[in-house]
Amino acid sequence: MSNTARTIMLVDDHAVVREGYRAMLQKQPGLSVVAEASDGVEAYRLYKETGPDLVIMDLSMPGIGGIEAIRRLRQWDKRAKILVFTMHQNAAFAVQAIRAGASGYVTKTSPPETLVHAVMDALSGKIAISPDIDHELALSHLAGESAAADLLTAREFEVLRMLLAEKTTDEIAEALHLSPKTVANLHSLIKDKLGVGTDIELVRLALRQGILTQVDLGER
Amino acid sequence: MSNTARTIMLVDDHAVVREGYRAMLQKQPGLSVVAEASDGVEAYRLYKETGPDLVIMDLSMPGIGGIEAIRRLRQWDKRAKILVFTMHQNAAFAVQAIRAGASGYVTKTSPPETLVHAVMDALSGKIAISPDIDHELALSHLAGESAAADLLTAREFEVLRMLLAEKTTDEIAEALHLSPKTVANLHSLIKDKLGVGTDIELVRLALRQGILTQVDLGER
DNA sequence: CCACCGTCGTGAAATTTTCCCGGCAGCGGC
DNA sequence: GCCGCTGCCGGGAAAATTTCACGACGGTGG
Strand D bases contacted by the protein (CB, 7 Å): 7-12, 17-21
Residue A74 predicted with pLDDT over 60: yes
How far off is chain B from A112, nearest CA to CA, in Å?
A: 7
**B173: CB partners within 8 A, 6+ apart:** B179, B180, B182, B183
Q: Which residues of A touch B133 (CB under 8 A)?
A: none
Taking CB atoms and an 8 Å limit, are A14 and B109 in contact across chains? Answer: yes
Query: Would you call A108 an interface residue with chain B, using a CB distance cutoff of 8 Å?
Result: yes
Residue A205 predicted with pLDDT over 80: yes
**Option in B60, B200, B220 nearest A203 (CB):** B200
Taking CB atoms and an 8 Å limit, are A17 and B21 in contact across chains? Answer: no
User: Which percentage of chain A shows pLDDT scores above 70?
Assistant: 89
Give the A window 53-82 contacts with B, CB below 8 Å.
60
pLDDT of residue A158: 83
**What does the pLDDT look like over A80-107, one tens digit per residue?**
999 999 988 888 888 888 888 889 899 9
pLDDT of residue A217: 56
Angstrom distance, B184 CA to D17 C1' = 14
| pLDDT-based confidence at residue A144 (cuts at 50, 70, 90) | low
pLDDT averaged over consecutive 10-residue blocks of chain B (220 residues)?
A: 77 90 85 89 90 90 83 90 89 85 89 87 87 76 61 82 82 86 87 86 82 59
Give the A window 160-179 contacts with B, CB below 8 Å.
163-164, 167-168
Domains of chain B: 6-141 (3.40.50.2300), 148-209 (1.10.10.10)
User: Which percentage of chain A shows pLDDT scores above 90?
Assistant: 15
Q: What angle in degrees, to the nearest 10, is found between the helix axes of A15-26 and B15-26?
A: 90
Taking CB atoms and an 8 Å limit, are A14 and B108 in contact across chains? Answer: yes
| Nucleotide with the nearest C1' to B180 CA | D10
pLDDT of residue A148: 59
Task: Report angle CA B17, B19, B23 to the nearest 5 degrees.
Answer: 115
pLDDT of residue B220: 47
Taking CB atoms and an 8 Å limit, are B108 and A168 in contact across chains? Answer: no
How far off is chain B from A189, nearest CA to CA, in Å?
A: 17
pLDDT of residue A131: 86
The continuous run of DSSP H or E covering B96 comes out as helix B91-100
pLDDT of residue B1: 52
Interface size, chain A vs chain B, as Cβ–Cβ contacts under 8 Å = 138
Q: Which residues of B touch A87 (CB under 8 A)?
A: 14, 60, 87
**B151: CB partners within 8 A, 6+ apart:** B193, B194
Taking CB atoms and an 8 Å limit, are B218 and A90 in contact across chains? Answer: yes
